[in-house]
Amino acid sequence: MNPIRPAAAPRRSRTRFYLWTTGLGAALATAFITFAPSTLSPDSIRASFAGVINPTPGGLGPISPFKLPIGIVAGHSGNDVGAVCDDGLTELSINEDIAVRVKTLLERQGYIVDLLEEYDPRLNGYKAMALVSLHTDSCHFIDNNATGFKVAASQAGTSAEASQTLAACLTNRYAARTGLNNHPGSVTWDMTGYHSFSEVSEETPAAIIEMGFLYLDRNFLTQHADLAAQGVADGILCFTRSEPLTGTAAP
Ligand SMILES: [Zn+2]
For the chain, the domain total comes to 2
Residue 62 is assigned to a structural domain of this protein: no
The CATH code of the domain that includes 88 is 3.40.630.40
- For residues 116 and 205, state if they share a domain: yes
CA 66 to centroid of ligand 1, rounded, Å: 30
- For residues 45 and 122, state if they share a domain: no
CA 246 to centroid of ligand 1, rounded, Å: 28
- For residues 82 and 205, state if they share a domain: yes
In terms of residue numbers, what domain contains 197? 70-240
Residue 209 is assigned to a structural domain of this protein: yes
Task: Output the pLDDT for position 190.
Answer: 82
Residue 64 is assigned to a structural domain of this protein: no
Contacts of 79 (CB under 8 A, 6+ apart): 117, 118, 119
Task: Output the pLDDT for position 63.
Answer: 59
- For residues 76 and 41, state if they share a domain: no
Sign (positive or negative) of CA dihedral 238, 243, 249, 251: positive
Residue 59 is assigned to a structural domain of this protein: no
- For residues 30 and 89, state if they share a domain: no
Residue 245 is assigned to a structural domain of this protein: no
CA 74 to centroid of ligand 1, rounded, Å: 9
- For residues 84 and 113, state if they share a domain: yes
Task: Output the pLDDT for position 53.
Answer: 36
CA 121 to centroid of ligand 1, rounded, Å: 19
- For residues 232 and 108, state if they share a domain: yes
- For residues 101 and 21, state if they share a domain: no
CA 135 to centroid of ligand 1, rounded, Å: 4
b/e map 222-235, b = 16+ CB within 10 Å = eebbebbbbbbbbb
Q: Distance between CA 124 and CA 116 in Å, rounded? A: 12
Task: Output the pLDDT for position 26.
Answer: 44
Q: How far is CA 30 from CA 35, 36, 37, 40, 46, in A?
A: 8, 10, 13, 15, 17
- For residues 104 and 41, state if they share a domain: no
List per-block mean pLDDT (blocks of 10 residues) for the chain, which spans 251 residues: 37 41 43 39 39 40 76 98 97 98 97 98 98 96 92 93 97 97 84 94 97 97 98 98 79 44
CA 91 to centroid of ligand 1, rounded, Å: 7
**Residue 155 CA from chain centroid, whole number:** 18
CA 201 to centroid of ligand 1, rounded, Å: 22
CA 136 to centroid of ligand 1, rounded, Å: 6
- For residues 91 and 43, state if they share a domain: no
Task: Output the pLDDT for position 138.
Answer: 94
The single-letter code of the amino acid at 45 is I
Task: Output the pLDDT for position 47.
Answer: 39
CA 81 to centroid of ligand 1, rounded, Å: 8
- For residues 106 and 136, state if they share a domain: yes
- For residues 32 and 136, state if they share a domain: no
pTM: 0.74
CA 134 to centroid of ligand 1, rounded, Å: 8
